[in-house]
């Protein structure tokens, strides 16, 4: 089985324990080849806020200076067969946010468009149909569970999308707000699931208040309504956010 992992946004704590994600996927799926594709910003800053029990500190972690060669070698050391990616200037992010369709959140921040730009960017640039299953995952999480090979075989040729069971700590997905840390799909729906950035104008007009989990959930529901998704499934990846 061939699996593609797409990682994007700020590098954050990528180098702390991302290898555990590839290990757990191989353990749960069995014999498989995993390729990794990435699109990061050239800003190495990260949050250290511990918001809830989902968040844990990266003990004694020092953020290294990186380039694409460093990142490529890291992913290969984690067990990836092939790696390709880019590092984009924060000036691109500034331009994206200047043209955002979304309102600021309650905390005054307005960075939603930057993550949706990156999710679309990495898939648009590196996606191809050579894989059986596709994963979108943030660089600063570690998962402790993954979908079995048998379940992947059932859904890989369908227009299904697999979201985390909880969209936030102790808040289960019930058909609207959706987790943004990780999702998976087969080739019939994965690329479309990452095109929220191309549909921001439509989504912003559907809502009077904008925050990530709501915006993402409404977009996925739109895909179902438009026939781009047949169904939305949930799975508990048992992840932690590493700060």
Across 176-196, average pLDDT: 98
pTM above 0.85, yes or no: yes
Q: Is the pLDDT of residue 108 over 80?
A: no
Q: What is residue 110's predicted lDDT score, i.e. its pLDDT?
A: 82
Domain hosting 108: range is 2-242
Q: Is the pLDDT of residue 107 over 80?
A: no
pLDDT digits (tens, 9 = 90+) for 113-127: 999 999 999 999 999
CB 173 within 8 A of CB 234: yes
Q: What is residue 105's predicted lDDT score, i.e. its pLDDT?
A: 77
In the chain, the number of structural domains is: 1
Q: What is residue 44's predicted lDDT score, i.e. its pLDDT?
A: 94
- The residue behind tokens 């000036």 is 91
CATH code of the domain in which 160 resides: 3.90.550
| Residue 99, CB-side half-sphere exposure with 13 Å CA sphere | 11
Q: What is residue 139's predicted lDDT score, i.e. its pLDDT?
A: 98
Angle between helices 112-126 and 212-226 (to 10 degrees): 50
Q: How far apart are CA 182 and CA 135, in angstroms?
A: 7
Please name the residues in contact with 208: beta carbons below 8 A apart, sequence gap of 6 or more.
none
pLDDT digits (tens, 9 = 90+) for 91-106: 999 999 999 999 987 7
Q: Which of 102-106, 151-155, 207-211 has the lowest mean pLDDT?
A: 102-106
Please choose, from the candidates 72, 88, 236, 102, the residue with its C-alpha nearest in 3D space to the C-alpha of residue 169: 236
Confidence of residue 128 (pLDDT cuts 50, 70, 90): very high
Q: What is residue 20's predicted lDDT score, i.e. its pLDDT?
A: 98
Q: What is residue 102's predicted lDDT score, i.e. its pLDDT?
A: 96
> What are the strands, taking DSSP E only, across 94-158?
133-137, 141-142
Q: Is the pLDDT of residue 185 over 80?
A: yes
């Amino acid at each position: 089985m061939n699996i593609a992992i797409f990682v994007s946004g700020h590098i954050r704590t990528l180098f702390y324990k991302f290898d555990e994600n590839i290990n757990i996927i191989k353990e749960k799926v069995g014999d498989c080849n995993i390729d990794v594709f990435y699109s990061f910003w050239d800003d190495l800053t990260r949050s250290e806020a511990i918001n809830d029990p989902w968040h844990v500190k990266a003990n004694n972690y020092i953020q290294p200076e990186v380039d694409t060669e460093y990142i490529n070698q890291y992913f290969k050391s984690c067990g990836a067969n092939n790696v390709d990616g880019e590092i984009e200037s924060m000036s691109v992010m500034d331009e994206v946010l200047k043209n955002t369709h979304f309102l600021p959140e309650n905390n005054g921040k307005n960075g939603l468009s930057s993550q949706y730009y990156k999710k679309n960017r990495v898939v648009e640039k590196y996606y191809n149909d050579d894989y059986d299953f596709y994963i979108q995952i943030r660089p600063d999480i570690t998962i402790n569970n993954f979908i079995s090979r048998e379940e992947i075989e059932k859904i890989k040729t369908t227009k299904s999308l697999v979201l985390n069971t909880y969209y936030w700590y102790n808040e289960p997905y019930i058909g609207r707000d959706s987790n943004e840390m990780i999702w998976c799909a087969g080739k019939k729906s994965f690329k479309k699931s990452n095109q929220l950035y191309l549909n921001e104008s439509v989504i912003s007009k559907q809502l009077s208040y904008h925050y990530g989990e709501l915006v993402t959930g409404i977009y996925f529901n739109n895909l179902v309504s438009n026939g781009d998704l047949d169904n939305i499934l949930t799975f508990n990846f048992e992840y932690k956010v590493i700060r």
